[in-house]
Amino acid sequence: MSETTILLKVLLKQRHLQGHRAFCREYDRAAKKVDPSLIGGYPSKAQFYRWISGELLGLPYADHCRILENMFPNWSAEQLFKPYLGGMDFIPEPTPTQPVAQAAPTVRSELAGLTAAYTSRSEFHHHMPPHKLFDGARSIRMVGLSLNLLCQQYPDRDLIDLIENGTEVDCLFLDPAGEAIRRRGAEEGHPDTLLSTLTDVNIGAMRRVALKLTPDASPRLRLHVYDETIRFNITIVDDALCVVQPYLPDGRGLESPTLVAERGETPGLYETFSQVFESLWTRSREVTA
């Protein structure tokens, strides 16, 4: 999936708003004029970079579109997310188009909040590396097998800084001493203890992170395990963005398709997988130090 330059990215660059923090300030200024209740409702850092990556399958939900159209009054939301094929040295003139107010909900409804799909975890990581997904997050919830995305690919120092600054992190690992991980290892053709060992290593890494936290921050990192047939790897960021991978028969998680869904105004895929996480978390047990 090649990156496409969209009009929104061009306009943000022209106004020096291509950074997440600067964008959020401008978003709140527009929200104050459109609907003060929307102040603070700007996209998370991960969502923002997905917006300007050119990979959205539809449009953001309606409130975001209203704010963007206020920020760029000569453009419709539909135009903002279309590819821009001109140069980057000037602000293009808007062209007439049909109003997007009726089209956006239809597109989003058909996709149930799905904003991107990748053929593998590797392809997803190329377009959304861990620092884009987690930097600045206010909450992170994960369930899967070994949770390598957070435990191996995101620096401990950055994770500690997040938690010390208020981020809540819930990690739900497949129990390394359970039957489900043994069955999964056999299905993937691994030696008996390989997946258990890898998961133990990652749990140990998170325990070391916990030991480095201040007493006030420590309760914000929660480690649990579950012993059930593994079906999905789920990462939920800021209660707004969900990354999901199914576990395929005989295939490693790295080879599985990856879906990205965002929380919208009506229930969709985000709510489905958020409920899966909550259900597994309720039945899990805490990992003690």
Average pLDDT in the 248-255 region?
74
Give CA separation, 51 vs 45, 77, 117, 135, 199, in Å. 10, 12, 14, 16, 33
Give CA–CA dist 71/50, Å, rounded.
18
Q: What is the pLDDT of residue 289?
A: 62
Angle between helices 156-164 and 194-211 (to 10 degrees): 50
Q: How confident is the model at residue 50 (pLDDT cuts 50, 70, 90)?
A: confident
Give CA–CA dist 256/236, Å, rounded.
18
Q: What is the pLDDT of residue 153?
A: 93
Q: What is the pTM of this model?
A: 0.69
Q: What's the CA angle centered on 28, arms 265 and 8, to 5 degrees?
A: 75
pLDDT in tens, 114-150: 988 999 888 888 888 899 899 889 999 999 999 999 9
Q: Provide the residue ranges of all domains of the chain, joining segments of one domain with +.
A: 7-86+93-110, 116-286
Overall size of the chain counted in residues: 289
Q: What is the pLDDT of residue 256?
A: 86
- The domain 116-286 is placed in CATH, from the list 3.30.870.10, 3.90.1300.10, 3.40.50.150, 3.40.1180.10, at 3.30.870.10
- What's the token pair of residue 142? 């994960």
pLDDT in tens, 195-217: 999 999 999 999 999 999 999 99
Query: Is the pLDDT reported for residue 172 higher than 80?
Result: yes
Q: How confident is the model at residue 266 (pLDDT cuts 50, 70, 90)?
A: confident
Give CA–CA dist 54/2, Å, rounded.
9
What share of the chain in percent tops pLDDT 90? 46
Give CA separation, 37 vs 31, 32, 42, 105, 162, in Å. 8, 8, 12, 21, 27
Give CA–CA dist 74/70, Å, rounded.
9
**Quick one: three-class SS letters along 14-67?**
HCCCCCHHHHHHHHHHHHHHHCHHHCCCCCCHHHHHHHHHCCCCCCCCHHHHHH
User: Tokens 């789920």 label which residue?
Assistant: 234
Strand stretches in 91-240, DSSP E: 114-118, 139-143, 168-174, 221-226, 232-237
Q: What is the pLDDT of residue 191?
A: 87
The residue with greater pLDDT, 85 or 30, is 30
pLDDT in tens, 98-124: 443 344 444 445 688 898 899 988 888
C-beta of residue 136 within 8 angstroms of C-beta of residue 49: no
Average model confidence (pLDDT) across the chain: 86
